[in-house]
Amino acid sequence: MRFSPIGAAVRACPPLSSGQNRGRGLNPGRISNREDTVNPSHPVQPGRWSASSTSIDGIHVVTLRGELDYTARERAEKVLTLPVGDAPLRTVADLSGVTFMNSTGINALVSAHQAAAATDGWVRVAGAQAPVLRVMELVGLDTVIACYLTVDQALER
């Protein structure tokens, strides 16, 4: 357990085993305004990524898959950092399908965190796999943005 600079207790996300819930199978009755661009039956090809956005009980859930690098910069920032007037105050970034993340992904998460904090909101990360979590730990982002094993856990807190 660590404490972020703003005083909130956060816990780093341990890697998920292959049998654990990866934030899928949410209660369909709670989902609204679904805009899927991800086809879960087809894996994302190397060098590509995709995003989908869902609203669950007023919380903006963004699911990212693939490699989050400079080729995804504009779209990642757009999907994670909405205009303040239209943005939900609370965002869960589901990174369970992200296989690689560099400074582009870090910057997108930091921008989303700053935009949410400016409106007394928050950003939470769900399902970050070991390589992605390692990048977050190296730059200390896991001490600022709370991490959870699943989307369901991030939504409950």
Q: What is the CATH number of the domain that holds 153?
A: 3.30.750.24
Residue 38 within a domain = no
Residues contacting residue 37 through CB under 8 Å, at least 6 positions apart: 50, 51, 52
Q: What is the model's pLDDT at position 84?
A: 55
Number of domain units in the chain: 1
The residue segments making up the domain with residue 52 are: 48-157
Residue found by looking up tokens 């991490």 in the block: 147
- The pLDDT value recorded for residue 25 is 35
Q: Give the pLDDT confidence score for residue 157 in this predicted structure.
A: 76
In a domain, 62, yes or no: yes
Contact 128, 13 (CB under 8 A): yes
What's the predicted TM-score (pTM) here? 0.70
How confident is the model over 62-73, as pLDDT tens digits? 999 999 998 888
Secondary structure letter of residue 127 according to DSSP: -
DSSP code at position 81: S
Query: Is residue 38's pLDDT more than 90?
Result: no
Per-residue pLDDT, 80: 87
Domain-located, residue 28: no
Please indicate, yes or no, if residue 4 is contained in any of the structural domains. no
Render pLDDT for 64-115 as a digit per residue (tens, 0 to 9): 999 999 888 888 888 887 665 565 689 999 999 999 999 999 999 999 999 8
Looking at residue 46, what is its pLDDT?
54
Is residue 8's pLDDT more than 80?
Answer: no
Burial 13-45 (b: 16+ CB within 10 A, else e): beebeeeeebbeebeeeeeeeeeeebeeeeebe
Neighbouring CB atoms inside 10 A of 130's CB total 10
Give the model's pLDDT for residue 138. Answer: 97
